[in-house]
Amino acid sequence: MKVLVLGSGAREHALVKAIAADPEVEAVIAAPGNPGIDATALCVAVDILDGQAVAELARQHAVDLVVIGPEAPLVTGVADVCRSAGFPVVGPSAAAARLEGSKSFAKEVMAAADVPTARALVCTTIEQAESALDAIGGPHVVKDDGLAAGKGVVVTDSMDEALEHARACLAKEDGCLVVEEYLDGPEVSVFCLSDGTTVVPLQPGQDFKRVGDGDAGLNTGGMGAYSPLDWAPRTLVADVVERVAQPTIDEMRRRGTPFVGVLYVGLALTSRGPRVVEFNARLGDPDGQAVLARLETPFAQLLHATATGALADFPDLRWSSDAAVVVVIASAGYPAAPRTGDPITGLDAAAEVPGVAVLHAGTKFDDEGVLVSAGGRVLDVVAVGTDLAKARSAAYEAVELIELEGAHHRTDIALKAERGEITVGV
């Protein structure tokens, strides 16, 4: 099998590694890829938002499968173009990717499918937003309706801050926002593969969205993750399939816009049970990396079954009993104003720590051939170990061996879980 993977971050590095490890895979092509991916795949510089260019690349290399990593090409319909050109694709059509691309659409589908989620009101004027904030009460949750690269959501006790974010959302063209009930409880990610009909869940992971230890500071794309979640209810994944993923997949198919790809279910485990915080139309980053590090099933075959309507007959997934911890190394100034162009050293030594792999998130070779930072999130250190404590200590041992001036990382990834300090409200 030849596989084309779209994207250039650590999620795509993990996807490429897992796909290449499948014995049925003879070649992986990545567009555009990154210096880490380049070690495993043929990287080709193509604009991944240009569906025709992507389909042409798939044709040139006669690939058997196209896997779309990030949300932006999904929302612009790259999956549609590749499917029309005859390629099996992991990644929903533009119509189905609205589950991620529009919060109000996601809420409408959840209401139609009777999926448990926060009560929400959609607003297109500041007067509506004011009365919605009054009606729902605090803490206030205000969400930009559209994609906002992790900056769309404000959670605050302050009515002024809530209104300020509402104004910013409404100032955009066709501005629209969602005011929603605050959900209390630990957050988890459950990724569900679907071929449009059948749902195959992966094991859950947890992501750390805030920049600082103890969940202090600004929201980011994600500063770390781990899997499995020994503290979560045993029935979590089965409940999410039954109450959330299967009804959503059924509703999307009923509407004539079947969802084929990875449905990312972000949940809060509240005292009243799991509630959906958000849907995404792709694997999470970095939570996906923690989950993939533990999957033993040949991944390309699983993705091919997803893309070709063959999940119902796919064998049960096999998982390592190891724990996986991902620590993100971010550049100086991330997330507010990331600095790029700083040299990176120590990667070989880090990768020699037993159980550790280093994934490239935002790196490039400069004109002199030196590996430098090229984004806010620069590297993911992924470590597996027989338990969370061992995986954590391997991850942090490797992090210490990497040098990048001004870089920062969280020191408490998976720490509460390791100490047994996470509880689900009853």
At closest approach, how far in Å is the CB of 266 from ligand GLY? 7
Between 185 and 221, CB nearer to ligand GLY: 221
Between 194 and 280, CB nearer to ligand GLY: 280
At closest approach, how far in Å is the CB of 205 from ligand AMP? 13
Q: How many Cβ atoms from other residues are within 10 Å of residue 174's Cβ?
A: 8
Q: Contact 140/156 with Cβ under 8 angstroms?
A: yes
277 binds, among ligand GLY, ligand AMP, none (CB under 5 to 8 A by kind): ligand AMP
At closest approach, how far in Å is the CB of 150 from ligand AMP? 7
Residue 264: partners with Cβ closer than 8 Å, 6 or more residues away:
100, 189, 190, 191, 192, 278, 279, 280, 281, 282, 283, 284
222 binds, among ligand AMP, ligand GLY, none (CB under 5 to 8 A by kind): ligand GLY
3-state secondary structure of 379: strand
Between 165 and 377, CB nearer to ligand GLY: 377
54 binds, among ligand AMP, ligand GLY, none (CB under 5 to 8 A by kind): none
Q: Which of 240, 194, 12 is nearest to 91 (CA)?
A: 194
182 binds, among ligand GLY, ligand AMP, none (CB under 5 to 8 A by kind): ligand AMP
Closest CB to ligand AMP: residue number: 278
At closest approach, how far in Å is the CB of 122 from ligand AMP? 14
Between 202 and 401, CB nearer to ligand GLY: 202
Distance between CA 370 and CA 343 in Å, rounded? Answer: 7
Distance between CA 355 and CA 348 in Å, rounded? Answer: 13
Between 91 and 152, CB nearer to ligand AMP: 152
Between 195 and 380, CB nearer to ligand GLY: 380
Q: Where do we find the tokens 């971050």? A: 9
Distance between CA 121 and CA 270 in Å, rounded? Answer: 20
At closest approach, how far in Å is the CB of 368 from ligand GLY? 33
Q: What's the per-residue H, E or C state across 160-194? A: HHHHHHHHHHHCCCCCCEEEECCCCCCEEEEEEEE
| Site residues, ligand AMP (CB under 6 A) | 118, 141, 143, 152-153, 155, 180-183, 187, 209, 266, 277-278
285 binds, among ligand GLY, ligand AMP, none (CB under 5 to 8 A by kind): ligand GLY
399 binds, among ligand AMP, ligand GLY, none (CB under 5 to 8 A by kind): none
At closest approach, how far in Å is the CB of 137 from ligand GLY? 27
Between 1 and 268, CB nearer to ligand AMP: 268
Cα dihedral: 340, 342, 43, 1 (round 10) = -100
Between 287 and 380, CB nearer to ligand GLY: 287
At closest approach, how far in Å is the CB of 276 from ligand AMP? 9
287 binds, among ligand AMP, ligand GLY, none (CB under 5 to 8 A by kind): ligand GLY
Cα–Cα distance list, 56 to 72, 300, 368 (Å): 19, 21, 32
Which residue type occupies 247? P
Query: Radius of gyration (Cα) for the chain, nearest Å?
Result: 21
284 binds, among ligand AMP, ligand GLY, none (CB under 5 to 8 A by kind): ligand GLY
Token digits of residue 348: 């070989």
Between 213 and 400, CB nearer to ligand GLY: 213
118 binds, among ligand GLY, ligand AMP, none (CB under 5 to 8 A by kind): ligand AMP
Token digits of residue 324: 């996986």
Distance between CA 90 and CA 65 in Å, rounded? Answer: 8
| Site residues, ligand GLY (CB under 6 A) | 207, 222, 280, 284-285, 287
Between 101 and 152, CB nearer to ligand AMP: 152
141 binds, among ligand GLY, ligand AMP, none (CB under 5 to 8 A by kind): ligand AMP
- Helix axis angle for 299-307 and 10-20, nearest 10°, is 100
3-state secondary structure of 96: helix
At closest approach, how far in Å is the CB of 124 from ligand GLY? 25
Q: Which of 237, 280, 62, 52 is nearest to 150 (CA)?
A: 280
E strand or H helix that includes residue 18 = helix 10-20
